[in-house]
Amino acid sequence: MPLDWPLYFRDNLTYGDREHPAAICCLWMKQSRLADTLSPATYSVLGNLYSKDGINYLLRNVLARPTVRAIIVCGPDLTQSGAALLHLVNDGIGEQHRVRGDPSASSGQAEYTQIEIEIPREAIDDFRANVQMIDLRGINDPAKVQEKLKELGETVPRGLFAEPRVFPRHTPAADEFPAEETGFVVRGARIVEVWVHLLAAVLAFGRRDLTAYTVQQRELLDVVATIHDEEATDFDLPAWLPLTREQLDAYYPQLLTATRPENIAYTYGERLFDFNGRDQIAAMVQDLRATRYSRRAVAALWDPARDPGSADPPCLNLLQARVRDGKLHLTAYFRSHDIFRAWLTNAFGLRKLQAEIAERVGDSMLGDLAIISQSAHVYADSWDAARQITVEHARDYLKNPRLVRDPRGSFNIRVEGFQIRVDHYSPEGNLLATFNGANARALQREIAFFTSRVDHAIYLGMELAKAELALKNGWSYTQDQELSVEVWAAGSGSSTGQLGL
């Protein structure tokens, strides 16, 4: 029997008589609500169960010291972890070690209760056969819990119900992660940078699903990719890219001219420059010349007379150009977008088209290119190649968040007197606002709204925590530098060391 029991979350549990056969799982209730009232002699251990994954640790702890013969499940079941625990005991596990009867699994949701494969089925069955569950979910009254404990103390046997067992630790190897249902955003300076991040996002967060072509894909919905700093005359095409300059040059006429090769039903360029005899790009240019702030510079590529029911309708459906502050921005909407095979050529071609429109409108610099992909997907036969690119090159595009422009501005953090001061600057360097506070938590709540990048927000959280430590301990704080701590050693005066924070 392990001497250092419990094996997991030892410091997060409340202990009574460790030999007692009854334990308490109080779900989302504060442990202190029960621990401050219950007699420690009437239970062995008291703990929370915030997530369904926590059932694995509960199993491991009980099976490592199998003296627990009854568990009271009480308190609010906010994540249905209590329901899943009861389903485990009542219904067992099915294929792939998933709990039977879990309502989230049976309703077709992606969530399910996974019991780690390292915990053998026979051990789980031992737990189910020997550990009684008392369902007091929703009950927060310590008196009712104490009443049930008294009853269990008189009826539940003591001692081991099996030999102690310790199982190998589980190493998670998930290749699909939860994410937003819609509205995934990727921003970057250059097209290749954004593409690599898009591939990584689809492979990590994309939902596995079948397509109309009966092949597997990973898919994100309503992805917005924004490129803000690449000239159309100087495209970055690294040697490892699955696209050559010759292939790109061959693609441009399909988008930038009305020419349609033989045996091709249509091209994007034909529908943009000669859609039933109308040059939509010329109309967009004319509209923006007449009214710089117009919101009517739109080109539609979907033909309602031909495309519904067509075997090969256009994936690019709409373009809109806007001029703001002397910059021409272009937005493109794709109903369906193969991120691995098509997105790159589409993006380079659209950037060329954007530059052409800006030149024809006049007095307009190249602004952002925003590509909206309603279905952003990578087909199964491209997964390995896409994954290799992200593994080998994604890190090349990870930058110090301090050095990456956040379009919502930057922040200067310093300690002044008895407060932390945060100055918010625009990207142009103009002071916008000042925030003052004595702790990091209050300040992060104020400034979080003014950040757009996750890495920037994480960076600011780290710096605010350092500033708070310095303020509370009287240390010197300088943004982007390690905390310098003055340590007094007996007989040798003071010395200065770095905390590495």
Catalytically active residues are 315
The CA distance from 101 to 83, in Å, is 10
Task: Provide the token pair at 187.
Answer: 């921003």
Strand partners, 71: 23, 133
Q: Is 455:403 a contact under the CB 8 Å cutoff?
A: no
Q: 22-25 and 70-75: which strand pairing?
A: parallel
Chain mean position to CA 284: 38
Q: Centre a 10 Å sphere on the Cβ of residue 488 and count the other Cβ atoms it contains.
A: 8
DSSP code at position 190: S
Which residue has 């790009």 as its token pair?
281
Cis amide bond preceding 427, omega within 30: no
Helices (H) and strands (E) in the chain, counts: 14, 18
3-state DSSP: the chain helix, strand, coil percent, rounded to 5?
Answer: 35, 25, 40
Q: Comparing C-alpha atoms, which of 222, 195, 227, 193 is closest to residue 376? A: 222
Q: Is the dihedral of CA 400, 401, 402, 404 positive or negative?
A: positive
All residues at 6 or more sequence positions from 122 whose CB lies less than 8 Å from its CB, including other chains: none
The length of the chain in residues reads 501
Classify residue 16 by its DSSP letter: S
Write the DSSP assignment of 455-485 as a string of letters. HHHHHHHHHHHHHHHHHHHT-B--TTSPPEE
Spatial distance between the Cα atoms of 364 and 303, rounded to a whole number of angstroms: 31
Per the listing, tokens 């272009």 go with: 330
State the residue for tokens 């010395």.
495
Using the CB atoms, write b or e for 406-435: b if 16+ within 10 Å.
Answer: bebbbbebebeeebbbbebeeeeeeeeeeb
Q: How far apart are CA 252 and CA 352, in angstroms?
A: 8
